[in-house]
Chain A
Amino acid sequence: MHRLLRSVAISCHAAAVQRTDHGVRRLSITGSDVDPADEQVLRKRKFKPHQQSAELSEKLAGQMPSQARVVICGGGITGASVAYHLGLKGWGGETLLVEQDRVGGELPWSACGLAGRFERSYTELKLAEYSTDLIKSLTEQGLPTGWRQVGSLNLGRNFDRMTSFNRMKSQAIAWGMNCEVLTPEQCLERCPLISLDGVEGGLWIPEDGVCDPHLVCHAYLEEAKRMGVRVIEFCAIKKIHSAHGKVERVETTAGDVACEYFVNCSGFWAREVGTLSKPVVKVPLKAVEHHYLHTKPIDQLDPNTPFVRDFDGRIFFRECEGHILAGGFEREAKMVYEDGIIPLSQQARQHPPDWDHFHELLDSLLHRVPSFREAKLDRLTNSLQVFSPDCKWILGESPEIQNYYVAAGNKTMGVSASGGIGLVLTDLITKGFTYLDLHILDITRFLGLHNNRKFLRDRCKEAPGKHFEVNYPFEEFQTGRNLRMSPIYPQLKEAGAVFGQSMGYERPNYFDQNDKQDEFGLPRFRIARTKTFGKPPWFDHVASEYRACRERIGIADYSSFTKYDLWSKGNEVVELLQYLCSNDVDVAVGSIIHTGMQNPNGGYENDCSLARLSERHYMMIAPTIQQTRSMCWIRKHMPAHLRPKVNVADVTSMYTAICILGPYTRVLLSELTDTDLSPRSFPFFTYKELDVGLADGIRVLNITHTGELGYVLYIPNEYALHVYERLYQAGQKYNIQHAGYYATRALRIEKFYAFWGQDLDTFTTPLECGRSWRVKFNKPIEFIGRSALLKQREEGVKRMYVQLLLNDHDHEVDMWCWGDEPIYRDGVYVGMTTTTGYGYTFEKQVCLGFVRNIDANGQELPVTSEYVLSGHYEVEVAGVRFEAKVNLHSPNLPTKFPDREREAYHATRDRPDQADLLSFSSNLTTTGQ
C-alpha cells in the first residue's frame, strides 16, 4: 500500500524499559573540593570518595605525616588488629592507619560476633583460637568488648555430620582445643530453646564465645593509638605507587605519604583498592547479600544462651542484648553489583532485605527453635559481605608488588579471624616469617583467572554455602568449571574421565565408564564426588586404574603441573638455583634432580624437579598449586646481581604433560621413537628431548612421581593430541588404561612419596621427612636455609615423617583416613597424619604423617629412628583407634615385574647417607637425585 506515514524509527523499547534500579545506589556528590584530576582517578576506581568539607581536608592535610613505615588501608576490624599488633611489636610510631569513613564502621551488628574456633584446618583453627584468646585478654584488661564465654553448640542432623564432629573431636586433642560430642539430650541441656526434631547429636565447644565486633574493633584501635599508631579518618587512598617492584608511596585525598609497607585491609573494598596500584594487585572477592535477623527483646531469654549452629539447617543464632540475632548461609548466595561497581559508603553497603531469599533460612530457624515463632521482628538487615572463590581468607604479600600485604575475605567471620591475622601479618612484615604455615590462606594460591569478574560471579554463588557444608574429603566446586583444560581434555572426557579442579585446571580424578554420555550421546562433563567419610564410590574404578599402572600401562594427564623454564647466557642460572635449592643442581646435562627450595628456617617453600636441559637451561616441575607462589619466591629471593641476567618463564600453559606409567612403558615408547631407551642410554632420573610419533621436541622425563617405571612427556600443545593418540593406539596391545589423579596418588602414598602442600609445608624440613640425602651441605654456596638445616642436623629432628599401615581396618565398613588423624604411640598422642589412602597392594589403609617425641613435662625431644621404630602405634579415625605398623623408608612392593633401578630408589630414607645403588648409571658423572 502507499506509504502515508513518514516512518520514524520505532523505538519503544527504550521507553518501555522502566527499571527502578535499586541495585546501585550511588552517592550523588559533586564535591567542589575534589579537583578534576582526582575525579578522573576516582571515576576509574568506580567509587567516589566521601564528601569532605574544605575545612576537614585542610585539617587532615595538617595531620598527615609525610612519611610512615607502614600504611594500613581500612579501619575495620582487620586493619585495627594489624595496627594493634604492629604497635605491640614496637612499630606503633611508624604506623599510619587510613580510613575513608569512620573507623569501626557505622553499622553495629552487621556481623554475628562469634569468636569461635570451628574451622576446617589447623592454620585457620589456630588463628581463630588466638583471636579468641586475645579478645579474652583485652576484656580482662578492662576494655569493653562485649565478650562472654557462652560456648558454642553445633548441631548435626545426619550420620556424615556426626562423623565430621567425631573427626573434629579426634583432632581437637592434637590441636589443643576443648570439645565434646553430645547426645541430643545433652544438646537440649546446653540450650533448652531448641527442638530436637531431626537432631542426631552435637559438638560442644566450651571456650567459644560471643562479643561485639564493633567494640572489639575500637578496643584494638584504642590500644593501637596508645602505642603510637596514627589513625586518620575521612581520608581515602587514591593510589599506591611502587618502584622496583616494591611499595614506595601512597597518595591519599589528604596528601602523599612515603612508606615501606602497605597493608590492604579494606575488606569489602579490597578488590577495588587492589586496582589502585600498577600493576593491579588481584584480590579475588565478590560481594553477596547476607542477612541478619534481629528480634525484639524476648522475656526471660537466658543471657548465657550458647551460640548455636545448625549446620544442616544452614542457620545460627545467639543471644544479643536481650534479643535474638540469627542468620545463615544459604545454598546459593545472591549476587550484588554484578557490574562490578562497588559503592563507597558504609550506608550503601546496606541493602533492602530480600525476605523471599531469607525465607528458607527463616523456616529452618523456626523449625529448630519453635518458641521463636512468637518472637516479634525488630529488623532484617542485609549487609553485603565479600567471599573469596574458595571461601577461605586471603592473606599475605601480594605476588605483584613486594611489601604490599593483603588481609581480606574474612567471610563474615571478621572477629574470629582478625586477631590471628593481625598477628601473622605483623610477623611477616617485621620478621619475614611467622609461626604458622599459611600456604592455604596465602594470596599466591590464586591465578589471574580467579580475579575474573565473571568467574567470581559464577563461583561466589556457591562459596558462602560451603561454609556450613560437611567437610567431605576431595570436595569440588560445581561452578566456575571447565576453565583450564589440556588439549587432550575432550579425549579424556570421552574416555569417561570424572574431573577435579586444581588451580582452575580440569584434571581427571578417575575414569568411570557408566553413564558417561548425555541424552544426545555426547560425552558428559562430570565432577568427581566422594561425599562420604567411608569407602568412596570410586573405589573400584581407582583399583582397576591402579592395577593397570602396576602391571600394564596407565596413561595419566599431568598437564596441570607448574612448569618453569629458567635460563641465562652465562652460568648465572646455575648460581641462582644453587642458592635457592638445597640439592646440588650442578649435575650432568640431562639429569633430573628432586630438590626443595628451603626458607631460612629450612622449611619447604617449594618441592620441585629440575631437569637440566642444557648447560644453562633448566626446566622446573612443581606442584600445580605452586604456579603463582614459586614465581614469587624465586623473584623475591633472586640476588640483585643475577636479576638482569636470569630469565624465568612460566611455561605451564605451553606444554601438555602426559605420563605413561607401568612395566611396559619402555617398550611402548620405544615403538614410537628411534632413540634407544634402554637404561644404559636413558636411565632413570634423566631427561631426553625425543621425537615421538611424527612430532619432535618432546621433553621426556624418565620419572613418574609415583615410583613406577614410566615417563612424563612434556609436549608442545599443538602436538599433544597427536602424541596422545599415537600412545593410546600403540598401547592397545598392552591393554593401556587411563589413570586418574586418585590412582597416581594411591601409588605414591604406598611408595611413601611426599607431596608439597599435602605432606610438606613451609615448616617441614628435608631432615624431618627422610630427604636429608637430597640436601647437599657441601655445596660451595650458602644456600637459603643451610644454616638452619645444619643446626637441625646437629641437634636432631623434633619430628619424623613416617608411613603407617593400619591393621584390622575393614575398608568396607570402617571410616577411612582422610588426613589430619591423630597418631598415638604407646597410647600417647605424637602427631597427625598428612595424606592417607588405601594401599591397593598392601590392601590396607596407608597413612603418611609426622611423629614427635614429647616427654611427660611437655618438652620436645629429638626423634630418632630407634624411637620411631620402637613404639606401638595407633591411628584414631573418627573416634576409633586402629593399630598401625610403622615404616621409615619407602617399601619395596611385591611385583611380577622386578626392576632393579626402581627397587634401588627410595624416595624417603631412614638413614641420611644411605648408599646410592644406582651404580649402572655410571656414564653420568653424577647420579640424579
Chain B
Amino acid sequence: MFKFMLNDAIGYVRNNVRDISLNALRLLPHLPQLSPYDVNLVLRENEFIFNFPLDGVIHSYETNQLGSNTPCEDSRTEASLLFRNGFICGIFDGHGGAACGQVVSKRLLRYISAATLPRQVLKDKMQKGCTSQSFLKCHNDNADFVNEIKPIYEHSFNKYITELIKEPQRDVTSELQHAFVHLDESLAQEALATHDVRTMGVALSGAVACLVHLEGLQLHVASTGDCGAVLGILDPVTNQWQPKKLNTEHNADNMQEVQRILDEHPKEERDTIIRNGRLLSQLAPLRAFGDYRYKWSVETLQQQVVPMFGEHMMPPHYFTPPYLTARPDVQHHELDVNDKFLVIASDGLWDFLSPSEVVSLVGQHVNSKKIQEPMRLENGDVTLQEISDKLAERKAGLNRKPIDSNAATHLIRHALGGTDYGIEHSKISYYLSLPKDVVRLYRDDITITVIYFNSDHIAKLKKDEKGISSKVTGA
C-alpha cells in the first residue's frame, strides 16, 4: 500500500511539475553546467533526416529523440509502403519498461502495411513467400528481433494474414483498428503460449501509440493513449500558421474517454477505476498496448503472472477486467495544399509545449530554412533596388536563424530551454544534467517526428482529381 501511495505522490508531482520544476531546479545543488557544445552533442545524438528522392506527397521528414529513462522507453519507426505510394510512421511511448514499445513499433507497421494492401495483391504476394517485412521499407532501422523471438512473431503474422485474406476488404479506418487490436491480442497469446519471460515482459509492459498512415492524399491518424499529432496549416490569406489537432489523447483529461470506461464497469467501481487521474490509480494513459495486468482475468493473473513476478503485479481494486484496450481512435484527413507539415510526438513534448506553440515553432523553422539557402534571383530584369529590398528582408530573417537544422531538435531545444525572451542555455543545461534518479520527475522521454508535405505535388494531385471528377460528372 505504501508503494501505491508513493506512486500517487509521484503522479501528483508529475502533474504539477510544470509549476514547481524551475524553482525546484534552482534548489538542486551543484549541478554541472554543460557547455553549449555538450548540450548540442546530447540534443543531436539521435537526430535523423530523410529526404525523399522521388516526387511524392512527402518532401522529407525530420526526427529526434531525447531519452529521460534509461533505457529510453520511446520508440519510433518510419517506413515507405511498398507496392503503392504511401508512407507510414509511428511513435510509441512505452511504460513499465521499453519492451512493449520496441516490439509494437516494429510489428504494428508490418501488420498495417499488409492490411491496407488490396486483398488480391496481398494474396499474390504471400503465395510468392513474402515475410512480415516485405510490404514496407524502413528508413531509420538499425535493430532487429533476436533469433529466438523472431519465428514466434513471424508465426503470429502469418496467422494474421491468413485470417485477413479470408475477410473482405474494409476501409482504412477499420483496418487500422483491427490491426491494433489484433496485434495486442497476439501479444497476450504469445506470452501465455510460450511462458517465456521475454514475451511475458512484452505483454506486461505497456505502450501508447500514434500512427500516421498516408496513401495519396488520404491521411489517417490512429492513436491509442496520450501521444499527439498536430497538423501545421499555413493560412494563405494571413500567412499565419494554424494548428489542427488530429487526435484526442486518451487520458483522464478526456471526459468522453473517462465516461466510456466508467460505462463499461459496474457503478460500484466508479470511485476506484480512476483515481488521481490514473487508471486504478496507476496508469496515466487510458488506452494502451500490452499492460495485460489490466486486461487479463483475475485467474490468469493469479496463475500466470503472480508466480513469475510477485503479488504486487495485481492492481488494486481489480474486479471486472479488462479495464484497458488497445483500440485506437482513427481520424481521417484529406491533405490540402495549405497543409505544410505534421508533427507527431510523445507526451514528453506535450508536457512542455502546446500544439499551437509547436506549430508556430516549426513554422518559424520552415521560414528560416528558406533563408539558409543562397538567394536566387528570377530571370529577367531586376533592379538593384529590388535586390537590396529583398536582401534586407532576408537579413531580418537571418538574425533569427535557428541553431538546429533539424526541426525536431529545434522543438526539443525550445521545450527545455524556451523562455519568454528566447532560449536560455542554463535552463537546458539544468534539464540535461539532472541526476538519473530524479530526472524522470522533470522531463519524460521526448520523441518527435516532423513530416513535411510537398505542396506542389499535392496541388498537382488535387488538380488531377478534379479533372477526373469533373469528367465523371460531365459523363
Task: List the interface of chain A (C-beta within 8 A of B).
Answer: 1-13, 15-16, 18, 293, 295-296, 352, 354-356, 359, 362-363, 365-366, 372-377
Contacts and interface: CB of A to CB of B under 8 A. Distances in A.
Interface of B: 44, 46-51, 71, 97-99, 102-103, 140, 142-146, 149, 197-198, 201-202, 205, 374-375, 377, 381-385, 387-388, 391-392, 394-395, 398, 406
A4 B198 contact: yes
B377 A356 contact: no
B201 A296 contact: no
Given A10-B142, A18-B49, A352-B374, A362 B388 contact: yes
Contact of A1 (B97, B144, B387, B392): B97
Identify whether the interface residues of A are mostly helix, strand, loop, or mixed.
mixed
A7 B382 contact: no
B48 to A, nearest CB: 5
A9 B102 contact: no
Contacts of B142: 8-12
A5 B49 contact: no
B46 A373 contact: no
A6 B198 CA distance: 13
A377 B385 contact: no
A4 B75 CA distance: 13
Contact of B47 (A3, A12, A362): A12
A13 B99 contact: no
B73 to A, nearest CB: 9
A372 B375 CA distance: 21
B325 to A, nearest CB: 23
Given A12-B48, A356-B375, A6 B384 contact: no
Contacts, number: 106
Nearest to B205: A1
A603 B235 CA distance: 79
B160 to A, nearest CB: 19
Contacts of A377: 377, 381-384, 387
Contacts of A4: 99, 102-103, 145-146, 149, 198, 201-202
A18 B374 CA distance: 17
A296 B46 contact: no
B187 to A, nearest CB: 12
A362 to B, nearest CB: 6
Contacts of A2: 99, 197-198, 201
A295 B386 CA distance: 13
17 contacts: A4-B103, A6-B146, A7-B143, A10-B142, A11-B142, A16-B47, A16-B48, A16-B49, A16-B406, A18-B51, A352-B374, A355-B374, A356-B374, A362-B387, A373-B383, A373-B385, A374-B384
Given A13-B47, A356-B391, A356-B395, A5 B384 contact: no
Contacts of A354: 374
Nearest to A326: B384
B383 A5 contact: no
Given A355-B374, A373-B383, A377-B383, A6 B145 contact: yes
A446 B201 CA distance: 71
Nearest to B73: A1
B143 A296 contact: no
A13 B97 CA distance: 26
Contacts of A10: 46, 142-143
Contacts of A5: 102, 143-146
A352 to B, nearest CB: 6
Question: Which residue of B140, B146, B387 has the most chain A CB atoms within 10 A of its CB atom?
Answer: B387
Nearest to A373: B385
A2 B377 CA distance: 57
Contact of A359 (B149, B202, B391): B391
A769 B118 CA distance: 102
Contact of A375 (B46, B98, B383): B383
A10 B76 CA distance: 13
B388 A366 contact: yes
Contacts of A376: 381-384
Contacts of B394: 356
Contacts of B149: 4
A10 B392 CA distance: 43
Contacts of A362: 384, 387-388, 391
Nearest to B141: A8
A5 B143 CA distance: 6
Contact of B384 (A1, A18, A373): A373
A3 B394 CA distance: 50
Contacts of B103: 4
B146 A359 contact: no
Contact of B385 (A293, A352, A366): A366
A296 B381 CA distance: 9
A15 B391 contact: no
